[in-house]
Amino acid sequence: MKPNPLRYLSLSLFLPFFISTVSVAADIENGERIFSANCSACHAGGNNVIIPEKTLKKEALEANGMNSVSAITYQVTNGKNAMPAFGGRLDDSDIEDVANYVLSQSEKGWD
């Protein structure tokens, strides 16, 4: 029986998508754990106990130019105003997971 090249082609096209989907789910879960342990004291439910108008809600993130993984990652890493820097305390991958979690929750309305 001859190998079917179409089978290998379709597998090579769909396998990376499946793997990346699983990994994104794991990243969001890790982001939630890291957020709960390090951020929720000030940002529970997407709120902000220090500066109430600068929440993690979708509209506020958009208004403040913080509606991207790179913008959130930068701020979490370097801190700003009353928010401490977490670079050096958290791994870069954990910070990126938190950023993905925050964006995911903002899309869901933090419910």
Residue 101, in any domain of the structure: yes
More reliable by pLDDT, 65 or 22: 65
Q: Quickly state the pLDDT bin for 23 (edges 50, 70, 90).
A: very low
Number of domains into which the chain is organized:
1
Model pLDDT for residues 32-84, shown as the tens digit of each residue: 999 999 999 999 999 999 999 999 999 999 999 999 999 999 999 999 999 99
At 25, the amino acid letter reads A
Residue 59, in any domain of the structure: yes
Please state the residue numbers annotated as binding site for heme c.
Answer: 39, 42-43, 83
- State pTM to two decimals: 0.77
pLDDT at 67: 96
Residue 36, in any domain of the structure: yes
Instruction: Encode 19-55 in three state secondary structure.
Output: HHHHHHHHHHHHHHHHHHHHCHHHHHHHCCCCCCCCC
Residue 97 domain boundaries: 30-108
Please state the residue numbers annotated as binding site.
Answer: 39, 42-43, 83
The CATH number given to whatever domain includes residue 100 is 1.10.760.10
Q: Does residue 26 surpass a pLDDT of 90?
A: no
